[in-house]
């Protein structure tokens, strides 16, 4: 997977792209109608499972599907939080915010640990590549969600969603990645010891 572009033809690249969109979209709509706490719990569990699955997979198409689903969960959870804020007109309670961030951090740590444990496998990209690709997929899904909202609701609603979704996804991604890097480094150091 380190030389992904050199080993696959255009049809494989198209299938990987479609898998990413499909995985992200399905996941986005699956958690979009849950309460913030339920959505955070479901997404944290699924992110940890998908991270483990992606670290064990050898077919790049499945790896991209897992990454698409993870990106979809980030955008989906951000949408749930944005809609809750819009509906209630007030921020989430402090304990709820702590639960959401804590679950994201736990999922990030577990995901990082799985990735760090599998670093030398040829089918697992380095952490930097994984984060870069996940960021690109998340940004693409974010753009799709805002564009669809513009089509259905108009510019003002899309602008409001964009602002809220941008803030929530930044928070969620940070809460996921920082502990993920710690988990990755711990697993990598344990493997070398």
Q: Which two tokens mark 158?
A: 């899309």
Structural domains of the chain, count = 1
Query: Cβ of 33: how many Cβ atoms within 10 Å?
Result: 12
| pTM exceeds 0.75 | yes
Asked whether the predicted pLDDT for residue 94 surpasses 90, the reply is: yes
Share of the chain above pLDDT 90, in %: 15
pLDDT tens string 105-157: 999 999 888 877 765 555 566 667 777 777 777 787 788 888 998 999 999 98
Residue 1, pLDDT score = 42
Q: Residue 184's closest CA among 105, 106, 108?
A: 108
Please state, in angstroms and rounded to a whole number, the distance separating the CA atoms of residues 119 and 151: 42
Question: What is the residue range of 153's domain?
Answer: 4-192
Q: What is the pLDDT of residues 36-74, one digit of tens each?
A: 888 889 888 888 888 888 777 766 667 777 777 787 788
Q: How far is CA 126 from the centre of its chain?
A: 17
CA 89, CA 142: separation in Å to the nearest integer? 23
């Amino acid at each position: 997977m380190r030389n992904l572009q050199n080993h696959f033809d255009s049809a494989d690249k198209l299938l990987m792209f479609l898998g990413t969109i499909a995985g992200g979209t399905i996941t986005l709509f699956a958690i979009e109608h849950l309460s913030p706490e339920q959505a955070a719990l479901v997404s944290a569990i699924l992110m940890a499972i998908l991270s483990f699955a992606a670290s064990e997979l050898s077919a790049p198409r499945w790896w991209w599907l897992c990454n698409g689903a993870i990106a979809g969960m980030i955008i989906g959870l951000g949408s749930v939080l944005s809609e809750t804020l819009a509906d209630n007109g007030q921020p989430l309670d402090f304990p709820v915010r702590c639960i959401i961030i804590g679950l994201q951090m736990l999922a990030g740590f577990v995901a990082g640990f799985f990735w760090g444990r599998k670093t030398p496998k040829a089918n697992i990209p380095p952490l930097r590549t994984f984060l870069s690709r996940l960021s690109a997929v998340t940004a693409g899904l974010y753009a799709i969600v805002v564009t669809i909202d513009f089509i259905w609701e108009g510019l003002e609603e899309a602008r409001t969603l964009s602002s809220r979704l941008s803030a929530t996804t930044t928070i969620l991604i940070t809460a996921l990645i920082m502990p993920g890097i710690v988990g990755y480094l711990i697993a990598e150091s344990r493997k070398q010891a």
